[in-house]
Structures are given as C-alpha cells and as structure tokens.
Structure 1
Amino acid sequence: MSRFNAVVKNVRPRTLLVSPLSYCVGVAVADHRFDLVVLLGVLFHILAPLAANAHNAVTDLVEDGKNVPGRLKLVETAGARLLQRVLYASLGIMLLLSLMISFAQTLLWVFSVFLVLGYSSPRLRLKGRPIIGMAVFSMAVTEPYIAGSLLGDSWWEVPQYDSYQPVVLGMFLFCWYFAKGIMKNVPDYTGDKAAGLRTIPALLPSQLAGAWVAATATSLVYAAFPVLVLLADMPDRLVYVGVMVLPAVANMTSMVRARTPVEYNRVGQRDMYVSVVFLGLLLFGVQPSAGTALIGLVAVAVMAGADLSGTDSRVSHHVAQADSAVGVPGGGERNR
C-alpha cells in the first residue's frame, strides 16, 4: 500500500486535469457530441500527463533533491522500475485508445510519445532549453485541444472549418500555457540552476527576477483574452472568461512577494486552480450546457480532493524538507 500511495503521489492527480479539459474545449469547438469516443479521448489525455509525471519523477532526481526533497523518498518507496512500468503501460494504453478514436489521434499519439519522453529524458532534456522547453510544455494543452478539434464523425474524418477562430484559440492556449511554464519554473529556480537546466527563470540573475517575468507574462496573457475575443470576432459570451485575470494577477502578486520555497510552491498550487477554472469557464463559454458545466465542476472537485488527501509529491511538507540524508534511488548522479 505504501508503494501504491507513493506512485499516486508521483503521478500527481491534481496536475492531470488541464489536458482533458483542453481536449474537451477542442471537442466543443468541433461541435462534436460528447459520446463514448470523447470519453476515450479524455482518458487518453489523462494518461499523457500521468506518464510524463512518472517519467519526470525518475529523471529529475538531481534538481528535485533541492526543489522537492521529499519527492526523493517517494521515488525510493515507489521504486524507479515501477514508475517506468507505469510510464510504458500508459503509453501502450494511449496507443490502443488512439486506434479506437481516430486516425488523427493515432498520429498525435506519436507526437505525444515524443513530448512525454523528450521533455525530461537524459538524452534530449528539452525542459532545459529555455524556449523549446516551454514550447514542449505548452503542448500539454495545445495537443489535446488540436486532438479534440480534429475529432470527426468517423475514424478517418476531420471537421471542416470555415473560420480562423479555432486556430486563433489554439494559438492563445499555446501562449497561455507558455506563460504558465515560466511561472512553474520559478519555484524550482535553485535546483534547476544547480542542475544546469537553462529554463527562462534560471537564466535570470535571481529568483525574484524570474518571479517578475512570470508575473508579467501571466498577467498579460490573461488580460489579452477578452481583447482576443473581440478582435477575433468570437462569441461575445466568451468575454466573461476574462474575469480570471483577477485571481491570476492576485496570485502573481503573491509570487513576487514570496521568499521561501513553501511560499513559491503555494503560488504554483493556487495557479493550477486558476488554470482549471479558466479552462472550465472557457469550455462552458464555447458550448454552454449542463454537461460542460458539470465537467468543469468535476475537475475542480477532483483537484480539491487530491489536495485534501495530500496525494501530491509537491505538498508543502515535501518542499520544506531539508533532510540531506535522503539519497538518490539507484545511487550516484545521473547524466544531464
């Protein structure tokens, strides 16, 4: 049971929601009914970040030793081999699901494998490249959105669009999550710098400078959404989603005021709520219905449940640990 709990905490259930929500936004844009095929797609896009988290837990041991010391013990308890089995089992199930969904999703499975493995693998280590790393990170919402928007009525079919609006929305989601990626790397400033990762915050002279860059980028991208709605002639009801600029800016204000690892970590935890609510409101705005409203509410409830039960490897007490006696499973320092 302790191994199972450690695996669950390492795959981080609270972070598995933005991808399926973005997929549902794409499905709504395609005006596809929410049927069994969509449910399979939702499962596919839950497994993708789950696989990525299992992989990252094994590959990011050096920086996690400084950023999230408690995670090393969780990896040790779960076992690196078991986490790798979770990774490959997830990718295999994703392939089967994609073959049942559509030809387009099957092609995107190949792309998803590259993203999952390439982001933190010792060989490619894309997360350590400032622009490419954030572009790959942004695919966590952009690829699901594309997959949903390409869902047709048959295995081979893709929808035909007579407007550029779906492309504009996809580009916005890419930029939105790019900004989130910058924010996500601010709490990891010390460990990333020590591990030689060239993330955008790690290239700056201080963690505070990284916080200001992340806060500026995040505030601008949220503020830009209602302007984008008006300029791209999207449905007027989507403007109300811009209300999320208020909690986003408030949270970024906390980021520039943060000074301790726990404070930075709490900002990141709150940001995930802002992100999930934003996508939930966007989904409801694209296709207002009781079903889409329920999807958003369930996503928030799942994340809140994960937080209340402590099933995450970045809970505050794991970040606050400074027990240098916790070793790296497998021994030694991995290749970077």
Structure 2
Amino acid sequence: MRRMARFSAVVKNVRPRTLLVSPLSYCVGVAVADHRFDLAVLLGVLFHILAPLAANARNAVTDLVEDGKNVPGRLKLVETAGEELLQKVVSASLGIMLLLSLMISFAQTVLWVFSVFLVLGYSSPRFRLKGRPVIGMAVFSMAVTEPYIAGALLADSWWEIPRYDSYQPIILGIFLFCWYFAKGIMKNVPDYAGDKAAGLRTIPALLPSQRSGAWVAAIATTLVYVAFPVLALVTNIPDRLVYMGVMVLPAVANMISMVRARTPVEYNLVGQRDMYVSVVFLGLLLFGVQLSVGSALIGLLAVAVMVGSDVSGTDSRASRHLARAESTVSIPGGGGLRGDE
C-alpha cells in the first residue's frame, strides 16, 4: 500500500499532462527534416518525454518555498514520494537520456549535454535560472525549441546532419521559441504570490499586481497566435499552415478568462486549459507540416493522454492541491512547513 502511494505521488509530481509538448515539438522537427518514422525517431520521442519528466521531478524538490504558497498540497505529495526518490528519478532519467542519445545521433548526444544544463539549472538553488525574467523564460522556451532542433537535425546516419535549401526550419524554430516564451509568462501568472514570496524575478512578479501580469501574458499570447498565420502568408513555410489561425480563438478566449480571474482556482484552471491549447496547436502544426494519418494519430494520442491524466487526477497542479495539506517537508530557510499554519 505504501509503495503504491509513493508511486502515485511520483507520477503526480512528474505531471504526465505536461510531458507532451516536447515530444510533439520533436515530431514537428522530424517532419520538417522529412525523416521517415524509424527506431531513431521512437527513441527520440522517449528522450523528449524523459527530459520534462526529469525537470518536473527536479522542480518538485527545489521549488518548496514557492509551492508552499502556490500549490500547498504538492508538499504532501513530495513528502509521500520522498525527496530522495524524486532525485533518483531525475538521475535515472538523465542517464537513460544519455544512452538514448548515443543510439540516435551525434547531434542528439551534444544536445543531451544542453538538456542536462536545462533540467538542472532551471530551478537549481545555485543557478536558479527560473528566477531571472528573460533568461528564465528563454530556458523555459527550450522545452519546445530544443526538441524541435533535435528532430530537424535527424538524418540517416549517426554523424550526418541534414542540409536545407530554405530558411523554413529556422523560421519555425524562432516562432516556437517566441510562442513558448509567451506561454512561460502566462505560466507564471498563477504563481504570482508564491514567486514574489520566494524572491523570484519572473516577468509577472516584477509587475505591481497579478492582474497586470495577466494583461501582459494575454497580450503576448495573443500576439504569437496571431503572428503564425501571418508568417504562413509572408514566408516560405507552407501556405496551408495559415489554417492554424483558428487557434487564435481558444487562445484568446482563455486569456480573457485570465484577465478576469480573481481566485487561485480560476488562475489555475486557465493554466490547465492553456496546456490543451498548446498541445492541440502543436498537433495541428505537425499535421500541417506532414499531412499523414500518422501525424494525425500522434496529435490525437497526445490529447487523449491529457484527458486521461485529468480524469484520473494524476497531476500535482490539480485544483484540489491548491488547498493546504498536512506536511512535514523541510523548506530551505524555513524549517518544516505544516499545511495548517
């Protein structure tokens, strides 16, 4: 019974619903490279599931101060799973990623080194990159940019790097970076109070109020979603991708909810819905780049995983974890935190 509880807590802390954007971005890169689906692609998908999984496990251990205010119930999950076990999950994931990268390509092996830096440096007490307004969001954006680059560099041999006759891969890569940069701003709005208390200098936390942060996030999000169909019309990426403009509607509707939100639960729900918008956007982008049944199935599978995760409640950011729960997890600088204090 104890083992099952620990396993469940670990699963909730690695947050399955958030592990999808990286492998989807990787598949978009593979489609841009026009690489056939083979073992290397499958291993690459697994690599880019493990990277955010390791990052989430790492964040659960390092973000105790802000989580104590933003998602208090997560502390109980960390206590149940055990900080040592979560650290082992991080180490094991990074080790498996190294083995996978050595099997995939030289380029992926080099990117593994970069991935380790991103996983460990984003929330580590020493570097705490997440607490720097621009650098933190740039590192956060790598969650989709690095996988995309890895997919776009996939070739037929271990050493080979594909050559491109156009700037399409670069244009898409820059867009994905900007798109997820805006998502990072939005992601930090629900955590406004806790980030301020922890001294994190995120973009919303630098603003005078949570509502002003919501407005900045809403404007940034609207701009990137509107920009994509424009890019499809004025650059050499396929014109058919202009249909992606339909994603402006759910994205903007969700941002309207954000600027109207007043309670932690309302802000949290906006973040949860935004992940659906992001996954659907990447799924449609993948299908638009490579029109195939396989591409459509990958997108549908990603959405199904999200729905399954939400229905089963396997996420430490679920609304019920916003309430305080009895916990004896030791918070740096603050000793043990008890949820009823």
* Residue from 97, 101, 104 that aligns with 2:100: 97
1:220 aligns with 2:226: no
Q: CA deviation at 1:332?
A: 5.0
**Which residue matches 1:141?**
144
Within 1, Cα distance between the matches of 2:58 and 2:153? 28
Which string of whole-angstrom CA distances, capped at 9 and with x for unpartnered residues, describes residues 13-61 of structure 1?
A: 0000000000000000000001111000000000000000000000000
AA partner of residue 299 (structure 2)? G
* Residue from 163, 185, 190 that aligns with 2:188: 185
Within 2, Cα distance between the matches of 1:119 and 1:227? 32
Work out whether residues 8 and 311 of structure 1, in 8 Å CA contact, stay in contact via their aligned partners in 2: yes
- Partner of 1:156: helix, strand, or coil? coil
Work out whether residues 76 and 329 of structure 1, in 8 Å CA contact, stay in contact via their aligned partners in 2: no
Work out whether residues 64 and 331 of structure 2, in 8 Å CA contact, stay in contact via their aligned partners in 1: no
Q: CA deviation at 1:235?
A: 1.1
Within 1, Cα distance between the matches of 2:63 and 2:329? 10
Work out whether residues 65 and 331 of structure 2, in 8 Å CA contact, stay in contact via their aligned partners in 1: no
AA partner of residue 241 (structure 1)? M
1:165 aligns with 2:147: no
AA partner of residue 290 (structure 1)? V
Within 2, Cα distance between the matches of 1:190 and 1:123? 22
Within 2, Cα distance between the matches of 1:178 and 1:54? 22
Alignment of 1:242-261 (within 5 A): 242-261=245-264
When residues 46 and 3 of structure 1 are mapped into structure 2, their CA distance, relative to the original with a 3 A threshold, is same
AA partner of residue 183 (structure 2)? K
1:308 aligns with 2:323: no
* Residue from 264, 284, 289 that aligns with 1:286: 289
1:236 aligns with 2:247: no
Q: CA deviation at 1:327?
A: 3.3
**Which residue matches 1:83?**
86
* Residue from 201, 204, 208 that aligns with 2:207: 204
Work out whether residues 167 and 236 of structure 2, in 8 Å CA contact, stay in contact via their aligned partners in 1: no
Unaligned runs of 5+ residues in structure 1 are none
1:2 aligns with 2:40: no
Structure 1 consecutive aligned stretches of length 4 or more whose deviation exceeds 6 Å:
none
1:327 aligns with 2:297: no
1:18 aligns with 2:21: yes
When residues 245 and 331 of structure 1 are mapped into structure 2, their CA distance, relative to the original with a 3 A threshold, is closer
**Which residue matches 1:64?**
67
Within 2, Cα distance between the matches of 1:332 and 1:256? 34
* Residue from 107, 114, 117 that aligns with 1:111: 114
Within 2, Cα distance between the matches of 1:97 and 1:326? 37
Which string of whole-angstrom CA distances, capped at 9 and with x for unpartnered residues, describes residues 286-330 of structure 1?
A: 0000000000000000010000000000000101x135x533347
Which string of whole-angstrom CA distances, capped at 9 and with x for unpartnered residues, describes residues 86-110 of structure 1?
A: 0000000000000000000000000
Unaligned runs of 5+ residues in structure 2 are 336-341
Identity %: 84
Within 2, Cα distance between the matches of 1:148 and 1:333? 43
Which string of whole-angstrom CA distances, capped at 9 and with x for unpartnered residues, describes residues 233-261 of structure 1?
A: 22111111121010000000000000000
Work out whether residues 55 and 120 of structure 2, in 8 Å CA contact, stay in contact via their aligned partners in 1: yes
**Which residue matches 1:276?**
279
Work out whether residues 47 and 90 of structure 1, in 8 Å CA contact, stay in contact via their aligned partners in 2: yes
Within 2, Cα distance between the matches of 1:49 and 1:174? 16
Within 2, Cα distance between the matches of 1:221 and 1:189? 22
AA partner of residue 283 (structure 1)? L
- Partner of 1:175: helix, strand, or coil? helix
Which string of whole-angstrom CA distances, capped at 9 and with x for unpartnered residues, describes residues 128-158 of structure 1?
A: 0000000000000000000000000000011
- Partner of 2:122: helix, strand, or coil? helix
Q: CA deviation at 1:165?
A: 1.0
Q: CA deviation at 1:333?
A: 3.3
Within 1, Cα distance between the matches of 2:55 and 2:44? 17
Within 2, Cα distance between the matches of 1:280 and 1:97? 24
**Which residue matches 1:44?**
47
Within 1, Cα distance between the matches of 2:11 and 2:107? 30
Q: CA deviation at 1:65?
A: 0.2
AA partner of residue 125 (structure 2)? P
Within 1, Cα distance between the matches of 2:262 and 2:233? 38
Q: TM-score, normalised by structure 1?
A: 0.97
Work out whether residues 266 and 316 of structure 1, in 8 Å CA contact, stay in contact via their aligned partners in 2: yes
- Partner of 2:291: helix, strand, or coil? coil
When residues 183 and 331 of structure 1 are mapped into structure 2, their CA distance, relative to the original with a 3 A threshold, is closer
Task: Give aligned pairs, total.
Answer: 332
Work out whether residues 80 and 329 of structure 1, in 8 Å CA contact, stay in contact via their aligned partners in 2: no
Work out whether residues 262 and 316 of structure 1, in 8 Å CA contact, stay in contact via their aligned partners in 2: yes
Aligned-residue CA RMSD (Å) = 1.0
